[in-house]
Chains A and B, each alone.
Chain A
Amino acid sequence: MRLTARLLTSASIAAFIGCLGIAPGIASADTASDIAQGKKLAFNKKKGNCLACHQIAGGTLPGNIGPPLVAMKARFPDFEKLRAQIYDSRVNNPNTIMPPFGPDVILTDSEINKIAAFIYSL
């Protein structure tokens, strides 16, 4: 909910800036730093610790409990579905071993957005 609001605002700001015809690319620069931060958060054992269960390009000693996270845009054409999977994996599989990162506040919304941006780039 909050995310959608935020996406809408940044989208409209981008649109607004776009209209003024200045600084195209600000949005993508933002995403690049989101992706970099998302990667750190995903690999950090105290944060996402996604490597505990998933093989992810660039990560060492991955577990193999979940599927390797590759070709994510093909798996999740809809970014929001990917974000939702990370936010609360129980919606798709009520008995999943994957932690409910959002509802249990293991990660904040903004951390989840960054991780999702990173995973989406894989």
Chain B
Amino acid sequence: MKKFSIALSVMLVLVTSFAVQATPDDDLKAFRSYFTKKFPNVPVADFINGVYAIDKPSREQWESFEEFPSYDIAIDNGKARFNKKFANGKSFASCFPNYKKGIKQNYPYFDKETGKVVTLEAAINKCLTDNGEKPYKWKKGPITEVGAYLAYLSRGNKINIKVPNNPDAIAIYNEGKKFFYAKRGQLNMACADCHYYYAGHRIRADILSPALGHPTGFPVYRNKWGGMGTLHRRYAGCNKQVRAKPFKAQSPQYTALEYFETYMSNGLEENGPSMRK
């Protein structure tokens, strides 16, 4: 009898922990099917276009912006920065040997050595400091230029983020997932409230973009900013909207969030940099 109840409780524990622990792959499938059901007329590949994937009228205006995009100059500046020699004679290419084929689709990635997740911006600044150069500021300016150039070279490559079977990687992924669904700020809203449950609805005059595909177009030139910004700059803006204290760009919180959001977008094409209103 006792043996039986022990076996039963072991079984129960196994069953419940199985039910609770959705794998990143389970999450991705559920996430994907939620959005494809919610927007049956939007081809999956089109989710890279943010709100413009789901709203015809604003799409037309956006397409006209994209004809003479304000981010062009950022790509050019980024290319110049990328090719410029550091004081030690090396250049960015020494850190990104595959840059010509495009590398953005592999960021952010989990680094086994450090047990941390590395964003493209973190890798750009690490390249600078490893070579004795001063790092760039995190949210705008030069970092978005080098980022825009690398994104541009990655256009058309499919996002390929891995969450390896490593406790640290899984913990960071789960932290990002939790962040996405957690209510915060005085207005008590989650990323998921606006970009999952109510994606496609209007908040005042703004249509809410689906979270699927969020990272593909970054860095973006935003008319409201009058310049370029990174994904973390946008995260901070969205946190402020709900009167939450934003985290720092490249904080562990936003890095985990980016890891989650980008993993959810696996298989979609890179199309950065892009224009946003």
A residues adjacent to B (C-beta < 8 A) = 51-53, 61-65, 97, 99-100, 104-106
Q: How far is the CB of B137 from chain A (nearest CB, A)?
A: 30
Residue contact A106 to B204, C-beta cutoff 8 Å: no
Q: Which residues of B contact A104 (CB under 8 A)?
A: 186-188
Which B27-79 residues have C-beta < 8 A from chain A? none
Residue contact B201 to A65, C-beta cutoff 8 Å: yes
Would you give the 0/1 interface string for B179-205, flagging 1 where the beta carbon is closer than 8 Å to chain A?
000000011110001100110011111
Q: How far is the CB of B113 from chain A (nearest CB, A)?
A: 40
Q: How far is the CB of B187 from chain A (nearest CB, A)?
A: 4
Residue contact A61 to B189, C-beta cutoff 8 Å: no
Q: Between A and B, how many residue pairs show CB distances below 8 Å?
A: 35
Complex Cα distance, B62 from A94, in Å, reads 37
Name the residue on B nearest A90 (C-beta).
B188
Would you give the 0/1 interface string for B160-196, flagging 1 where the beta carbon is closer than 8 Å to chain A?
0000000000000000000000000011110001100
Residue contact B198 to A106, C-beta cutoff 8 Å: no
Residue contact A61 to B205, C-beta cutoff 8 Å: yes
Complex Cα distance, B244 from A99, in Å, reads 13
Residue contact B202 to A99, C-beta cutoff 8 Å: no
Q: Which residues of A contact B203 (CB under 8 A)?
A: 52-53, 63, 65
Residue contact A64 to B186, C-beta cutoff 8 Å: no
Residue contact A99 to B187, C-beta cutoff 8 Å: yes
Q: Which residues of A contact B202 (CB under 8 A)?
A: 62-65
